[in-house]
Amino acid sequence: MIPRSEHSISRKQFSPNAIKVLYRLKDGGYDAYLVGGCIRDILLGIEPKDFDVVTNATPEQVKKLFRNCRLIGRRFRLAHIVFGREIIEVATMRGHHQGQDSKNPISQSSEHGQLLRDNVYGTIEEDAERRDFSINALYYSVKDFTIHDFANGMQAIKERKIELIGDPETRYREDPVRMLRAVRFATKLDMHIAPATKAPIKELAGLLSNIPAARLFEETLKLFLNGKAEQNFYMLLEFGLFKQLFPALDEIIEQSETGFEKRFIAQMFANTDLRINADKKVTPAFVYAALLWFPLLKRSEKLQQQEQLPVFDAFAQAMNQVLGENAQHIAVPKRFTLGARDIWHIQMRLDKRSGQRAYRLSQQPRFKAAYDFLLLRVESGEQEQQALADWWTNYLQQDINGQKEMVRTLSSQDTGKPRRRHRRKPKKKSPE
C-alpha cells in the first residue's frame, strides 16, 4: 500500500462522475476503487480517457444504488453508470475458478483454456491476480487515498515494461486477445514487452481464431486508430499475429518480390497516424479498403483467368468473395464495408473522365476518400498512376470553367483533334 504522501495522484485528476460513483458505493457500505488504465496513465503523465471502478458489490447491488445504471455483458457482467455522454464502468471483483463445478453457469472454459463465462466474484487480492498486466493492477482508494499495488505495477511503470501477471501461456490461453493488448500497450505507452511475456506469442498466435469476429473488429480498431498503427503493423507481423487477422494479405506480403504491398500498407498506416495525431477524422472504411485491396485484385485476376469473366464482372464478384471471407475473421460492420466498396468502385472509374463523367464522379460521397486512395497508391510506388493522380489533383483545384476546359482538352488529346458534335437524325414517323 502506497500512502498519499508517496505518490503523485490527486482526486482532481479524476472525472468528477467517477468520484461520485466511488463515494456512493462507499456510503452504501461497499469497497470501491479506481483501477487500471486511469491510474497507469496518470502516473505516466498521460490524460486518462476512461475511468473504471471495481467494487465488492455485485452488478445487481450496484444497479440498486444508481438509477442511471444499466447492466451489460454475458462473458463479464458489468454495470455502466451513465452521466450524459460519459460512462463509468463498474465491475465486481473477480475471483478464481478453482473448485468451480464445470456445469456451473457462472464459470465456463473452452477446451483450449479460454474463458467463455467469467462471473466468478472474489476479493481484491484475487481480482488483482486476474488482471492481465502488472501495470493494470493498481487500485486507488477514496477511503484513505492510497494506491494498492499487488503485482509490482509501479516498478513496471518505472522500467517501462509490459509484463503479464502469472504464467504467460496460461493467461494467453484464457484470453488470446491479451496478445493484441500487449502489442497495443507497448506502442501506445512506449514500453517494451518483457521477455517471458513475449516468448509464447508466436506459438500461440493461432488461438486468435477462437475469438468472435465481432470482438476482433473492436480490437483492430484500437490497434489501427490509436495513432500508433504503423508500429502496431510491424509488431503484429513480427509476432505472427497479422496472419491470424488478415491471412490473405499476409500471404501476399510474404510472397511479394518487390515489397510494394507491405510498403502500401505501412504508408497507409503512417498517413492514418498523421491524421489521428492531428485530430483529423479517419474512417475504418478507408483502412479496410486498403487492407483488402490486394486480396481483391488477386481474386479479380483469378476470376478473369479461370472463368473468363469481363473485368468489371470479375471485380464485382471478387468484392463479394473477399468481404465474405474476411467476415469469418473480422466482422466489419456493413456501414464500413459499403464505404470500402465505394472506394474500390471509384478506383475503376477514375480514368473515365470524358463529358460529364469527371464532374459526376467528383460529386460522389466517397470520392475524396477514393482520391486519397489513388494518392496512396502513387505514394507507395505505383508510378503508372502518377499522371492520373496529377490530373485529378489539378481538376479539383479548378473552378467549374477550368474543369470543363480540362475535360475538353482531355477529349482533344484522346482523338488528336477537337470532337465534332453530330446531330441525331430525327426518327421517321411510322405510317398510321
What does the pLDDT look like over 243-294, one tens digit per residue? Answer: 999 999 999 999 998 999 999 999 999 999 999 999 999 999 999 999 999 9
- Residue 161: DSSP 8-state: E
3-state secondary structure of 34: strand
The per-residue b/e assignment along 192-225, b for 16 or more CB within 10 angstroms, e otherwise, is ebbeebbebbeebbebbeebeeeebbebbeebbb
Residue 261 counted as domain residue = no
The Cα 195–Cα 202 span in angstroms is 13
The Cα 152–Cα 138 span in angstroms is 9
Q: What is the mean pLDDT of residues 30-41?
A: 92
Contact 18, 42 (CB under 8 A): no
Grid coordinates of 71: 447492466
Q: Based on the structure, what is the number of domains in the chain? A: 1
Share of the chain above pLDDT 70, in %: 90
What is residue 82's predicted lDDT score, i.e. its pLDDT? 94
What is residue 107's predicted lDDT score, i.e. its pLDDT? 47
In the chain, the amino acid numbered 212 is P
Q: How does DSSP assign 60-80, residue by residue?
A: HHHHHH-TTEEEE-SSS-EEE
Other Cβ atoms within 10 Å of 327 Cβ, number: 14
| Structural domain that includes position 86 | 1-159
Residue 132 counted as domain residue = yes
Angle at 158 between CA 15 and CA 188, to 5 degrees: 60
Backbone angles phi, psi at 94, to 5 degrees: -90, 150
Mean pLDDT, the chain, whole residue set: 89
Residue 109 counted as domain residue = yes
pLDDT exceeds cutoff 70 at 312:
yes
Of 45-49, 89-93, 294-298, least confident by mean pLDDT is 45-49
Residue 236 counted as domain residue = no
Residue 250 counted as domain residue = no
Place 429 in a pLDDT band, splitting at 50, 70 and 90.
Answer: low
What is residue 113's predicted lDDT score, i.e. its pLDDT? 47
pLDDT exceeds cutoff 80 at 426:
no
Of 105-119, 190-204, 269-283, 359-373, least confident by mean pLDDT is 105-119
Q: What is the mean pLDDT of residues 118-123?
A: 77
Residue among 149, 143, 131 nearest 39 (CA): 149
* Helix, strand, coil percentages, rounded to 5, for the chain: 55, 10, 35
Give the residue numbers annotated as catalytic, written as ranges: 50, 52, 132
Q: What is the pLDDT of residues 322-358, one digit of tens each?
A: 999 999 999 999 999 999 999 999 999 999 998 899 9
Grid coordinates of 428: 421517321
Tally the C-alpha atoms within 13 A of residue 36's C-alpha that lie toward its C-beta: 17
Residue 49: partners with Cβ closer than 8 Å, 6 or more residues away: 41
The Cα 9–Cα 140 span in angstroms is 9
The per-residue b/e assignment along 236-275, b for 16 or more CB within 10 angstroms, e otherwise, is bbebbbbbbbbbbbbebbeeeeeeebbebbbbbbebbbee
Q: What is the pLDDT of residues 56-75, one digit of tens each?
A: 999 999 999 999 999 988 76
- Residue 389: DSSP 8-state: H
Residue 198 counted as domain residue = no
What is residue 12's predicted lDDT score, i.e. its pLDDT? 87
Place 7 in a pLDDT band, splitting at 50, 70 and 90.
Answer: confident
Place 50 in a pLDDT band, splitting at 50, 70 and 90.
Answer: confident
pLDDT exceeds cutoff 70 at 175:
yes
Q: Report the sign of the C-alpha dihedral through residues 183, 114, 51, 94, in that order.
A: negative
Q: What is the pLDDT of residues 371-390, one digit of tens each?
A: 999 999 999 999 999 999 99
What is residue 110's predicted lDDT score, i.e. its pLDDT? 52
Q: What is the mean pLDDT of residues 195-203?
A: 96
Contact 65, 79 (CB under 8 A): no
pTM: 0.85
What is residue 63's predicted lDDT score, i.e. its pLDDT? 93
**CATH number of residue 79's parent domain:** 3.30.460.10
Q: What is the mean pLDDT of residues 225-234?
A: 96
The Cα 416–Cα 21 span in angstroms is 75
What is residue 417's predicted lDDT score, i.e. its pLDDT? 46
The Cα 398–Cα 402 span in angstroms is 5
User: Dihedral (C-alpha) 410, 412, 416, 419: value to the nearest 10 degrees?
Assistant: 140
DSSP H helix total and E strand total for the chain: 22, 11
Residue 227 counted as domain residue = no
